[in-house]
């Protein structure tokens, strides 16, 4: 159901390569998604897949993870799904450091409903509901780090080998891992903001990205920083709960 030229298939491909490289028993993998273009990935994948309600994927996944800690759970969300309607669940999953792997397909727009502004539409850019320019936007990495996520990384659809690796590293992190995959929507965001076709948008990512470790604010104002933004171990939520409640007797 994705439009031709859509970047979502590229991100999904990265996810599948990462799963293959990690060599996890597929019966121990669950894919949980919200509502939106990216969340439809669940329907294309032959795993145990749970396509939930708009914004609530992380909350569904929290219940699932608590009763099935042995599962590796990928939570696929779009930028509006994760950061607008699902923003509260995002910050609390992050605070808890629950071992979920959030993969945010960020295309800077609401694609499925036809190009409305999201909290990730860059400030001043156009959307059908922001004809005079969008509001101030979020930086997903900053939100993730500030709210307690123990792994936060970003790559674009131009950097697929990097994206594969970041997803793998996120899975290996025992805690809440956020991978922001900057994808693109040529028919929504791209068209409204005259970004050109899919190839032009990929090239734009190529020219405007910089590895986060090389970034200095003075020289790289406005660049997209890719790579691992944050990785710091902390006790994982379900393990902590289990430890605290172990031995509780009637």
Partner 1 sequence: MGQIEKTRLFQGNEACVAGAIAAGANFYAGYPITPSTEIAELAARKLPETGGKFIQMEDEIGSMAAVIGASIGGAKSFTATSGPGFSLKQENIGYAMMAEIPCVIVNVQRLGPSTGIATAPAQGDIMQARWGTHGDHPVIAFAPSSVRETFDLTVKAFNLSEKLRQPVFILLDEIVGHMRENIHIPHQDELEIINREKPLPDQPYKPYDEEKEVSPLASFGEGFSYNITGLVHDEYGFPTTDSEKTKKLLSRLQRKIDNHLEEIILTEEFGMDDASLVVVSYGCTARSVRQAVKMARKNGLPVGFFRTATIWPFPYEKISAFADKTKTLLVPEMNMGQIFGEVERAVHGQARVVGLNRFDGEMITPDEILQKILEVI
List helix spans (H) across the chain: 8-22, 57-67, 79-80, 87-96, 140-147, 160-172, 191-192, 198-208, 237-245
Applying CB under 8 A, does 62 fall inside the site for partner 1?
Answer: yes
* Window of 44-52, 118-126, 137-145, 160-168 that interacts with partner 1 by CB under 8 A: 44-52
Nearer to partner 1 by C-beta: 58 or 212?
58
Applying CB under 8 A, does 198 fall inside the site for partner 1?
Answer: no
Of 10, 36, 37, 56, the one binding partner 1 by CB under 8 A: 56
Nearer to partner 1 by C-beta: 204 or 241?
241
Task: Give me the least distance between CB of 229 and partner 1, in Å please.
Answer: 24
Q: Which residues contact 107 (CB under 8 A, 6 or more apart)?
A: 7, 8, 37, 38, 78, 79, 182, 183, 184, 185, 188, 189
Of 16, 24, 50, 234, the one binding partner 1 by CB under 8 A: 50
Please tell me the distance from the alpha carbon of residue 16 to that of residue 49, in angstroms, as a whole number: 14
* Window of 5-13, 88-96, 110-118, 192-200 that interacts with partner 1 by CB under 8 A: 88-96
**Class of residue 41 by CB neighbours under 10 A (exposed 0-12, middle 13-18, buried 19+):** buried
Applying CB under 8 A, does 59 fall inside the site for partner 1?
Answer: yes
What sign for the dihedral angle of Cα 244, 246, 247, 250?
A: positive
Nearer to partner 1 by C-beta: 64 or 181?
64
Q: What is the DSSP-derived secondary structure letter of residue 2?
A: P
Please tell me the distance from the alpha carbon of residue 22 to that of residue 140, in angstroms, as a whole number: 25
Task: Give me the least distance between CB of 30 and partner 1, in Å please.
Answer: 5
Structure tokens at 7: 């970047």
Q: Which residues contact 111 (CB under 8 A, 6 or more apart)?
A: 36, 37, 78, 185, 187, 188, 189
* Window of 4-12, 68-76, 158-166, 212-220 that interacts with partner 1 by CB under 8 A: 68-76
Please tell me the distance from the alpha carbon of residue 160 to that of residue 39, in angstroms, as a whole number: 19
* Window of 46-54, 105-113, 171-179, 201-209 that interacts with partner 1 by CB under 8 A: 46-54
Applying CB under 8 A, does 23 fall inside the site for partner 1?
Answer: no
Task: Give me the least distance between CB of 76 and partner 1, in Å please.
Answer: 13
> Looking at the chain, how many residues does it have?
250
Interacting residues toward partner 1 by CB under 8 A: 26-28, 30, 32, 42-43, 46-53, 56, 59-68, 70-71, 88-89, 91-92, 241, 245, 248-250
């Amino acid at each position: 159901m994705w439009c031709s030229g859509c970047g979502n298939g590229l991100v999904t491909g990265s996810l599948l390569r990462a799963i293959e490289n990690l060599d996890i028993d597929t019966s121990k993998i669950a894919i949980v998604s919200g509502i939106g273009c990216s969340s439809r990935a669940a329907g294309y994948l032959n795993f145990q897949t749970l396509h939930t309600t708009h914004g609530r994927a992380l909350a569904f996944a929290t219940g699932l993870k608590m009763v099935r800690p042995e599962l590796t759970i990928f939570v696929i969300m779009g930028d509006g799904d994760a950061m607008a309607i699902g923003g509260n669940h995002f910050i609390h999953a992050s605070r808890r450091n629950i071992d979920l792997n959030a993969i945010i397909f960020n295309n800077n727009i609401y694609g499925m409903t036809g190009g409305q502004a999201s909290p990730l539409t860059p400030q001043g850019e156009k959307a059908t509901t922001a004809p005079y320019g969008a509001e101030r936007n979020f930086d997903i990495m900053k939100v993730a780090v500030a709210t307690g996520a123990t792994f936060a990384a970003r790559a674009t659809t131009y950097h697929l080998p990097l994206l594969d690796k970041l997803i793998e590293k996120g899975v290996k992190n025992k805690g809440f891992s956020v991978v922001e995959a900057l994808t693109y929507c040529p028919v929504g965001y791209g068209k409204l903001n005259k970004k050109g076709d899919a190839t032009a948008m990929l090239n734009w990512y190529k020219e405007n990205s910089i590895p986060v470790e090389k970034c200095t604010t003075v020289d790289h104002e406005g660049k997209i920083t890719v790579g691992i933004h944050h990785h710091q171990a902390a006790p994982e939520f379900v393990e902590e709960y289990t430890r605290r409640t172990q031995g509780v007797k009637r």
